[in-house]
Amino acid sequence: MRGMPKRLLALLLLAALPWLARADEQAFTNRATELKERGAADAATVAKLPENAPVKVLARGGGWTKVEAGGKSGWVRVFHLRFAGSVEASNSSGGGLASLGSALGFGQKNEQARLVTTGIRGLSSEDVKNANPDAAQLARMQSYRADRAAAERFAKEARLVAVRIEVPQDGAKGDAK
Amino acid sequence: MRMRAWLVAGAFGLAAANASAIDFGSIINKAIDTGRQLNEANHEFTQEEEVALGEGLAAGFLGAAPLRKDAELQRYVNRVGKWLAMHSGRPELPWTFGVVDTETVNAFAMPGGTVLITYGLVKRLGSEAELAGALAHEIAHVVKKHQLQAIQSDKSSQAWANLGKGIAGEAIARRGSDPVGLKTWGANAGVELLKNGVFLRPLDRSMEYEADKLGVVIAARSGYDPYGLVGVLEMLAQVKSDGSGLSVLDTHPAPADRLADLEPFMPQVERDVKQPQQVEARFRKVVAP
């Protein structure tokens, strides 16, 4: 009798494995690159990674992504990664197995795990085409508009300082400012 | 000179008096002409026309996906958006931002400065710099009039054919200072363009790449970390379309392609950035993780 729950647990674990593999988002290096201690070009190098090295995505910020590779964690330039999430994220089974995972004590530990699409069906083109225009909602939205002064105060609170930057020539042309 | 000014004023007074007598036939003709002109690819929309059209589109959209009932969030997004728009090429537009309550991950720019972003996208963002990156991309579409160009280049649509009727009906009903009912006409046109799906079609890929770059510049000018949009694309590279047809993954080039396009561009913007901010704490106060 005591053996049964263990075998059941093992079975459940087996069933949960594919989900566990997906929970930590997988990415690959798209060129040889360096794993850095911090997200900065001048930070110390933790390890050198070859092209196509699998990494586990832990967090993102600025132009750098926090990853785990070969047992070490550090930061890699976001442009040096190729993400595999779009093929792996599962809509149909994610929810069920996720709850199984947490019932067994495997909480979703990192930020990225929560970013996987939930699979709840959203707005469709047909919904929008068939909708009746809602003038009251439009008016409500316009009542939330911010004026210049409010935007300036808001920017100051977060120490957002405007800088003059021209649009580079090979970029979006003609945005005179 | 003074005499001439009086004469002009007199002529206007006369016209106004005649208008109040209402010549239905001429109003309808003028209205239909207006509809025809607006459909010409080289027609320059006035700002008023553009704003009215965008309001019509937004009203239609909100009929399908209402605003998220969170006034703090709505005001917050409007402040970020307005601050960004003040550093765009068209700061004078009546910029309006709304968070719509749907799980679909996307954002939509309407001509004239109305931008809708879905809660499905907002809740997946990690900082105000990322929100700024997404909004600045939409602001760039408005600045470049991408949606207007797409609407005008759509010759197959029945929308324009129905517009004359809309204007005429409105003109007769109103008799106000807006003799062809422009504002309401624009709204009708917007609704029509939404109904026949013209507005929901993806833009040219070149327009999306252009909006990415200009958006990065607008966010950087506003003091945000220019990598905000890059972070959004990184996140999008890890989600899957919900199959709705309206997901950002259905309406935009693949995130990996957009990232590859931005890579050589970023150093040119980074050069000019002074003290770029991520602003995570304020974002987290409004958008719970």
pLDDT digit string (tens) for B161-220? 555 455 445 544 444 445 445 566 667 777 777 777 777 778 889 999 999 999 999 999
Q: Do the domain assignments include residue A131?
A: no
pLDDT number for residue A105: 29
| Option in B60, B103, B210 nearest A131 (CB) | B60
In this predicted structure, which of A26-40, A160-174, B51-65, B254-268 has the lowest mean pLDDT? A160-174
pLDDT number for residue A50: 96
**Mind listing the pLDDT tens digit for each residue in A51-63?**
999 999 998 877 8
pLDDT over 90 (residue A111): no
Q: Do the domain assignments include residue A161?
A: no
pLDDT over 90 (residue B15): no
Ramachandran region, residue B95 (left: φ > 0; alpha: ψ -120 to 50; beta: rest): beta
Query: Does the predicted interface ipTM exceed a cut of 0.85?
Result: no
pLDDT over 90 (residue B144): yes
pLDDT number for residue A34: 96
CB contact under 8 A, A137 and B59: yes
Mean pLDDT value of segment A42-56: 95
DSSP A74-99: EEEEGGGEEE-HHHH--SSSHHHHHH
- Quick one: pLDDT band at residue B23, thresholds 50, 70, 90? low
Distances from the Cα of A78 to the Cαs of A151, B62, B254, in angstroms?
31, 35, 16
Q: Do the domain assignments include residue A97?
A: no
Question: What is the count of structural domains for chain A?
Answer: 1
Sign of CA dihedral A47, A48, A50, A55: positive
Pairwise CA distance, residues B234 & A57, whole Å:
10
Adjacent-strand bridge partners of A33: A49
Mean pLDDT value of segment A111-122: 40
Q: Do the domain assignments include residue A106?
A: no
In the block, tokens 């006409």 appear at: B185
CATH number of the domain where residue A41 is located? 2.30.30.40
β pairing state of A81-83 and B96-100: unpaired
In the 8-state DSSP scheme, what is residue B135? H
**Domain regions of chain B by residue span:** 24-275
Mean pLDDT score of chain B: 80
Query: Chain-centre distance of CA B63, in angstroms?
Result: 16
Pairwise CA distance, residues B200 & B177, whole Å:
33
Instruction: Tally helices (H) and strands (E) across chain B.
Output: 15, 3
pLDDT number for residue B202: 84
Mean pLDDT value of segment B233-253: 82
- Quick one: pLDDT band at residue A32, thresholds 50, 70, 90? very high
Question: How many Cα atoms within 13 Å fall on the side-chain side of residue B50?
Answer: 23
Q: Do the domain assignments include residue A141?
A: no
Pairwise CA distance, residues A158 & B278, whole Å:
9
**Mind listing the pLDDT tens digit for each residue in B151-162?**
777 655 555 555
- Quick one: pLDDT band at residue A80, thresholds 50, 70, 90? very high
Domain limits for position A19: 3-88
CB contact under 8 A, A62 and B231: yes
**Mind listing the pLDDT tens digit for each residue in B31-76?**
556 565 565 556 677 898 889 889 888 998 999 999 999 999 999 9
| Option in B63, B105, B254 nearest A134 (CB) | B63
pLDDT number for residue A38: 93
pLDDT number for residue A7: 60
- Quick one: pLDDT band at residue B279, thresholds 50, 70, 90? very high
- Quick one: pLDDT band at residue A22, thresholds 50, 70, 90? very low
- Quick one: pLDDT band at residue A9, thresholds 50, 70, 90? low
Pairwise CA distance, residues A126 & A131, whole Å:
8
Determine what percent of chain A falls in helix, strand and coil, rounding each to the nearest 5.
40, 20, 40
Residue type, B259: L
Q: Which pair of structure tokens corresponds to residue A77?
A: 């330039």
Backbone angles phi, psi at B91, to 5 degrees: -65, -20
Pairwise CA distance, residues A20 & A27, whole Å:
15
| Option in A123, A135, A152 nearest B59 (CB) | A135
Contacting residues of A for B278, CB less than 8 Å apart: 61-62
A7 in contact with B at a CB cutoff of 8 Å? no
Residue with more model confidence, A85 or B140: B140
pLDDT number for residue A8: 59
pLDDT number for residue A56: 92
Q: Do the domain assignments include residue A158?
A: no
Nearest-10 Cα torsion for B232, A17, A88, B123: -30
For B255-283, letters b (16+ CB in 10 Å) and e give bbebbebbeebbebbeeebeebbbbeebb
Pairwise CA distance, residues A110 & B63, whole Å:
37
CB contact under 8 A, B95 and A154: no
CB contact under 8 A, A60 and B231: yes
**Mind listing the pLDDT tens digit for each residue in A147-176?**
999 999 999 999 999 999 999 875 444 443
What count of other Cβ atoms lies within 10 Å of the Cβ of residue B209? 19
Q: Do the domain assignments include residue A31?
A: yes
